Structure 1
Amino acid sequence: MTAPHPAISNAAAHPAEQSRDRPTALLASLLDAGADAPPFAVIRREHDATLDVLVGEVVDVDLLADIPLDGDEVLALVPFRQVRERGFEAHDDGAPIRCLVVRERAVLPVAEAIELLPRHPIAVDLDVDVSDEAYADIVRRVIQEEIGRGEGANFVIRREFVGEVDVPPSTAVLGWLRALLEHEQGAFWTFAVHTPGLAAVGATPERHVSSIDGLVSMNPISGTFRHDVLTEADAETSVDERLLAFLHDVKEREELVMVVDEELKMMSAVCPEGGRIRGPFLKRMSRLTHTEYLLEGHSDLDPREVLRRTMFAPTVTGSPMGNACSVIARHEPTARGYYAGVFARFTPTAAGYDVDAPILIRTAYLRDGRVSVPVGATLVRHSDPVGEVAETRAKAAGMLTALGAIPRADAAARPTAPGTAAPGTAAPSVGPNAAPDAGATATATATAVDPHAELLAARNDQLAAFWRSPQHAHEPRGRSALVIDANDDFTTMLAHQLRHLGLDVRLVPWHEAPDAASEDLVVFGPGPGDPRDAADPRIARLRELIAARLEADRPLLAVCLSHQVLSDLAGLELAPLPTPRQGVQLPIEVFGETAAIGFYNTFSALAPDGSTTRRLDLEVASDATTGVVHALRGRGVASVQGHLESVTSPDGLALLERLVDGVLAGAKV
């Protein structure tokens, strides 16, 4: 399905000159110019019957804050290396933030544009830089060495299809754009951009972030259903039956929920009132169907700061974000360039600027005659290496077909998903809670008749209601809390929930946390890694801080990794789980009450249920069969292994309030 998106200001709102005498004249002039074409972008947004032709001048800048928002419309290609602005690791290829400052523009119907664009774009022979076998080996290593050692829940590793072409870049991308407009569907943006030394064309399915009149939206997409026949068994099964099996698939559902959690972290950092989720929806494209959610919140931040705080989408990196970037650097030997960055459109308004920024995926790049199509798969604990290889090829298929690397006849023979629109038209949106937009009629009709709408809606029964409804704060308690971030932005969601519960909250990274915090409550947050690794400065510092708080006999709450560190200080055994629990929801008993909670852990403390720890005299709540510790409690002390703040924790907020009330009262919860 396609999630609704806010409207973008129309042509009259832009100070750039409206083009020439006829809407088609500007596009025709670019075609006539060939190799001498000025910098331009051509963009069609989802559901629009028109596209925009934008011509201007190029300005390269180093930082997001330097993007020149001086009254003109600006398009900015933001490379992946920009995550370094958030302190994350990335191979540095020196790619600039390339800005197109718009001086001239035109709006014309898609059908007229297609007639003007080159009819027979040159075909390109492409090969992969990493073989299928080598990529499958990478998948295995990431599962074993990264997810299996607690470095995170999911990671996206890329491979590239590469080749060469000897026609002018402007001609090539406009020809390939025509093929995408004619044969791809369901894309959030379909676009071509041409600048000195760099051209690109794509049909990206996913908005990363937009901020329109203060409404911030993110659009996490994950879970991939391939329409093509993969096995002999598939050939004997209808597309409808295979789609139904996909919607029931645990791996695909968990994959989507994990990226929703990751983007809710970002929304909590950008929007004072947090984010609200809508969906899930189906997004149907020509060869793939994805599942997606829409996240919404309000912010008055500068759009460049919104972009900085949300770099980059977990659907193209993984989670937690900081560790995901480090894992990418370990397993991808070369820089990503603009892959997994964003193509941000800054539109001037009476109040300042709006921004609309899709993710740079399903995109081909052309530099010095070399064509590359990067693509990645999301690797989770359930991933099948052969299946992930197939997923990368399926994700690249639409772009490869437009480039002529897959014969059109072969592509046309592939089955499409039920409900798919005709080529060149908008695919209907399907799912609960679809808001009015350009496809509102199609959405309402599809939701009413689609047999999967009820199944999609039922997914929300297992999610936290807190993130699905307006979040009204409690009355202030007059109590303060310090939340310590241990390299996992889940703490932004945790801080948001604590504010909701009426606490005055301050959030600090672990290396800036004071030895003796003055706040009424200190919450030690989750993070990646092995809690037994005393050589890790982060683990060592958490031990020091928790020990100091215990020594001061001041209220504390520890979550996930910090719960494990507390367990170690209390004398409990720590060990890896037989199978990592990443994005897994479990019903657990916590001191007499059952709660459905989401888990993201590879390690666990072990002790009998109802026992008391050898040190610190803490009571244990654990699984009666396995001894895996769910929680600890003592006077003014509590800890929990699960992520109470996660969207996968429907009982998380209630348990958080219970724990907070107990430790602040100086009693057992």
Structure 2
Amino acid sequence: MTLLHDLLNSPDPGPFALLRYEGADRLEILRGTSRTVDRLADMPLPELAPGETPGPRTLALVPYRQLAERGFACVDDGTPLTCLEITETARLSLDEAIAQLPDTVPDTEDLGFDIDDDAYRALVAAVLRDEIGHGEGSNFVIHRTARARTTADPRRLAAAALRRLLTDERGAYWTFLVHLPGPDGRTLVGASPERHVSVDAGLAMMNPISGTLRHRDLPPGEAGRRRFLDFLADPKEINELSMVLDEELKMMAVVAERGGQVLGPYLKHMSHLTHTEYLLAGRTGLDVRDVLRETMFAPTVTGSPIENAARVIARYERAGRRYYGGVLALLGRDADGGQTLDAPILFRCADVDPSGGIEVKAGATLVRDSTADSEVAETHAKAGGVLTALGLRPAPAGGAHAEVTSYADDPRVAAVLAARNDRLSSFWLAERPAATAPGPLAGRRVLIVDAEDTFTGMLGHVLRSLGMEVRIRPSHDVAPGDAEAAAADLLVLGPGPGDPEDGTEPRMVRLAELVRERLAQRAPLLAVCLGHQVLSLALGLAMHRRDMPYQGLPSDIDLFGTARRVGFYSTFTAVAEADRLVTPYGTVEIARDADGHVHALRGPGFAGLQFHPESVLTEEGPALLGELLTTLLPIPHP
């Protein structure tokens, strides 16, 4: 009798997990005891004792509701943060494991989606119209749940589904089965395509994935290849990935010492789907539990900006997400005693309760140019692999994966992928030195006011690259008369969601107060996106809500006589009738388009930018900021 046989057949095997890592030819078996903890900081990660073998120590199931640790909104469904404290590990070759897993999936009853296709179409339309259309964010992920029921032992069902995933699914980051026994236990089985975050030897990595092509939509032969090239060149797919890239760069800006470096893009081939992806890498000295906390959760399952995306999800989704959108987190120690972390996103998985209830959750990423029909189809496609493994959907016709994989050798595919980086910011694509060369801005003190969009973390790294000393504080913490703001050489009012004319919104009120104070004091001020809109209102400009939001949109503009490629994340824009405006604070120069929509403005000691100079979509962000700030800040004499 083998350990795997015992785990699947004994009456009470205790908690265990079966894991296959991407590309591995073996199955990892983890066994131990389970306990629940309240916070990520409480997840056990004991020191490596003398003579003790390095490796995994704890496997944590982190539910979506853990977002409350960051103060973000969520439906509290009571799902616990459960830790499997590992006491025994073993390995089986993949062939041995597949031979021992059951090859017949027990009968299950398909109960359909909790939200039918028509209702989900209406939900998509409402989010596009009322949230993205009103400036609440650039993208949101709203899920629905495919439900089923079985009378079989959840372990047997999950083990049979795992076998199918191991034999039929390709390209998964982790393929897994986690069993937590007991009346309140769960059994999870799935194949997650996406690393959320990992840390090894101090190197943190994230893996934003977005853009989805169903292989069944590809015709055979050259026509399929052309359709694949069209997918890679589709602006919607490009912008969707760029938005989640920016959002995960925001997270890397917090956990990595110099922010993240962008690697890619790459293709992610699954059995029935192909995605596009980037890798982000950066050095960190944080405890891995803090890394995990600061990166809750991936924009590919939430949206951006993350804090308001959490609010939108809480408003629109009918029930809690349980583990969907959370992570599996494997915490361990390396040979030197250093902390390690590997955390795939918990999606593309089935959640089976002890009574036989089955849930498979799937969400679509809603962006400015989404269509309701395509997002309905995307949820079916994303749930399809696991539903097929459970015997609830027929397996698609074979052969498509091999043909799609062969496209990677086509020079046209490589060229289209590489072209995605042609006009992205080289600041984020290159490895940056630890030291910054002295310049005219070196040593100048900057206070950034964060208005609930952590683009401010990226902005901080760009300003530090110019030699500036940067602090970031939330808007609710910076009031008029603040001593640090008064002492700063430059105050930066950052981006955030919402309507700048909403006088009942505390953030808008606070930003307006800070703008008025700074202008009255003739103290240097830079305002970005939402901050720029509030500054524009203070200068007497009108505000306009765009018919089509500019969310995650790269655009070529004329910026005070210089052509620039910049990234917009906005629904509202100031409108001006002329290129100059006389105000009580001096004459203001305005950069605008043919419709009068204001891209930027500058006056004596202040400037506003509607676009994001820190975004990966802004081609020359650091140079642009350096030029602008040297005109705002008086350069001290030597």
Q: Shorter-chain TM-score category?
A: over 0.9
Choose from 452, 463, 482 the match for 1:498. Answer: 463
Report % sequence identity: 49
**Residue matched to 1:662:** 631
**CA separation in 1, counterparts of 2:550 and 2:365?**
16
**Residue matched to 1:631:** 600
1:509-560 deviation digits (Å, cap 9, x = unpaired): 0000142311111110011111111111110110001111111211110000
**CA separation in 1, counterparts of 2:410 and 2:510?**
56
1:418-471 deviation digits (Å, cap 9, x = unpaired): 3439xxxxxxxx9xxxxxxxxxxxxxxx5x555411110111002000000012
**Residue matched to 1:397:** 384
**CA separation in 1, counterparts of 2:8 and 2:337?**
36
**CA separation in 1, counterparts of 2:480 and 2:204?**
37
**Residue matched to 1:465:** 426
**CA separation in 2, counterparts of 1:296 and 1:132?**
39
2:357 counterpart of 1:370: yes
2:130 counterpart of 1:145: yes
Contact 1:204 1:359 (C-alpha < 8 Å) held by counterparts: yes
One-letter code aligned to 2:238: R
Contact 1:227 1:239 (C-alpha < 8 Å) held by counterparts: no
**CA separation in 1, counterparts of 2:516 and 2:220?**
61
Unaligned segments of structure 2, at least 5 residues: 48-55
Contact 2:172 2:192 (C-alpha < 8 Å) held by counterparts: yes
RMSD: 1.8
1:552-582 deviation digits (Å, cap 9, x = unpaired): 2111100001101000000001111121101
What is the count of residue pairs matched by the alignment? 614
**Residue matched to 2:51:** none
One-letter code aligned to 1:129: D
Choose from 272, 281, 293 the match for 2:257. Answer: 272
Contact 1:80 1:341 (C-alpha < 8 Å) held by counterparts: yes
**Residue matched to 1:3:** none
**Residue matched to 2:522:** 553
Contact 2:450 2:495 (C-alpha < 8 Å) held by counterparts: yes
One-letter code aligned to 1:225: L
Q: Check 1:624–1:376 CA distance in 2 against 1; reply closer, same or farther (3 A cut).
A: closer
**Residue matched to 2:190:** 202
Contact 1:204 1:358 (C-alpha < 8 Å) held by counterparts: yes
Cα displacement (A) at 1:666: 8.0
Contact 1:596 1:652 (C-alpha < 8 Å) held by counterparts: no
**Residue matched to 1:541:** 510
Compare 337-346 and 625-634 and name the one that shifted more: 625-634
Cα displacement (A) at 1:413: 5.0
Contact 1:158 1:332 (C-alpha < 8 Å) held by counterparts: yes
2:271 counterpart of 1:282: no
Contact 2:536 2:574 (C-alpha < 8 Å) held by counterparts: yes
**CA separation in 1, counterparts of 2:620 and 2:81?**
43
Choose from 466, 472, 481 the match for 2:446. Answer: 481
Cα displacement (A) at 1:105: 1.0
Cα displacement (A) at 1:591: 1.6
**CA separation in 1, counterparts of 2:405 and 2:392?**
24
Contact 1:571 1:613 (C-alpha < 8 Å) held by counterparts: no
1:61-80 deviation digits (Å, cap 9, x = unpaired): 11000001124610000000
Compare 113-122 and 585-594 and name the one that shifted more: 585-594
Choose from 80, 97, 108 the match for 1:113. Answer: 97
Unaligned segments of structure 1, at least 5 residues: 1-23, 422-429, 431-445
**CA separation in 1, counterparts of 2:131 and 2:399?**
36
2:22 counterpart of 1:40: no
Compare 625-634 and 221-230 and name the one that shifted more: 221-230
2:38 counterpart of 1:73: no
**CA separation in 2, counterparts of 1:175 and 1:141?**
39
Contact 2:43 2:83 (C-alpha < 8 Å) held by counterparts: yes
**Residue matched to 1:9:** none
Q: 1:497-576 to 2 correspondence within 5 Å?
A: 497-516=462-481, 517=485, 518-576=487-545
Contact 2:424 2:619 (C-alpha < 8 Å) held by counterparts: yes
**Residue matched to 1:589:** 558
Contact 1:45 1:190 (C-alpha < 8 Å) held by counterparts: yes
**Residue matched to 2:347:** 361
**CA separation in 2, counterparts of 1:506 and 1:225?**
42
Compare 191-200 and 475-484 and name the one that shifted more: 475-484
**Residue matched to 2:311:** 326
Choose from 34, 37, 52 the match for 1:61. Answer: 37
**CA separation in 2, counterparts of 1:641 and 1:80?**
33
Contact 2:600 2:607 (C-alpha < 8 Å) held by counterparts: yes
Cα displacement (A) at 1:618: 4.0
One-letter code aligned to 2:340: D
Cα displacement (A) at 1:229: 3.4
1:188-234 deviation digits (Å, cap 9, x = unpaired): 0000010021110010000000011100000000000111139xxx6
**CA separation in 1, counterparts of 2:393 and 2:222?**
25
Contact 2:592 2:600 (C-alpha < 8 Å) held by counterparts: no
Cα displacement (A) at 1:623: 2.9
One-letter code aligned to 1:395: K
1:389-418 deviation digits (Å, cap 9, x = unpaired): 00110111110110000123xx23573363
**CA separation in 2, counterparts of 1:451 and 1:228?**
22
Compare 372-381 and 617-626 and name the one that shifted more: 617-626
1:47-89 deviation digits (Å, cap 9, x = unpaired): 1111101111101111000001124610000000011111110
One-letter code aligned to 2:73: E
TM-score (norm 2): 0.94
2:112 counterpart of 1:136: no
Cα displacement (A) at 1:239: 2.4
One-letter code aligned to 1:600: Y
Cα displacement (A) at 1:609: 4.3
1:360-393 deviation digits (Å, cap 9, x = unpaired): 0100000131000000000001001001000110
**Residue matched to 1:311:** 296
1:136-185 deviation digits (Å, cap 9, x = unpaired): 11110000000000000000000010011112222221111001001000
TM-score (norm 1): 0.89
One-letter code aligned to 1:40: F
Compare 237-246 and 151-160 and name the one that shifted more: 237-246
**CA separation in 2, counterparts of 1:635 and 1:272?**
34
**CA separation in 2, counterparts of 1:150 and 1:68?**
41
Q: For 2:623, what is the secondary structure of its paired residue? A: helix
Cα displacement (A) at 1:330: 0.8
**CA separation in 1, counterparts of 2:3 and 2:621?**
56
**CA separation in 1, counterparts of 2:145 and 2:164?**
21
Cα displacement (A) at 1:96: 1.2
Q: For 1:497, what is the secondary structure of its paired residue? A: helix
**Residue matched to 1:605:** 574
Contact 2:135 2:572 (C-alpha < 8 Å) held by counterparts: yes
**CA separation in 2, counterparts of 1:299 and 1:160?**
36
Compare 343-352 and 648-657 and name the one that shifted more: 343-352
One-letter code aligned to 1:112: E
Contact 1:74 1:346 (C-alpha < 8 Å) held by counterparts: yes
Choose from 240, 248, 254 the match for 1:263. Answer: 248
**CA separation in 2, counterparts of 1:353 and 1:415?**
41
One-letter code aligned to 1:508: R
**Residue matched to 1:225:** 213
Contact 1:607 1:627 (C-alpha < 8 Å) held by counterparts: yes
**Residue matched to 2:371:** 384
Contact 1:587 1:595 (C-alpha < 8 Å) held by counterparts: yes
**Residue matched to 2:279:** 294
Contact 2:581 2:590 (C-alpha < 8 Å) held by counterparts: no
Compare 470-479 and 499-508 and name the one that shifted more: 470-479
Contact 1:240 1:417 (C-alpha < 8 Å) held by counterparts: no
**CA separation in 1, counterparts of 2:399 and 2:515?**
58
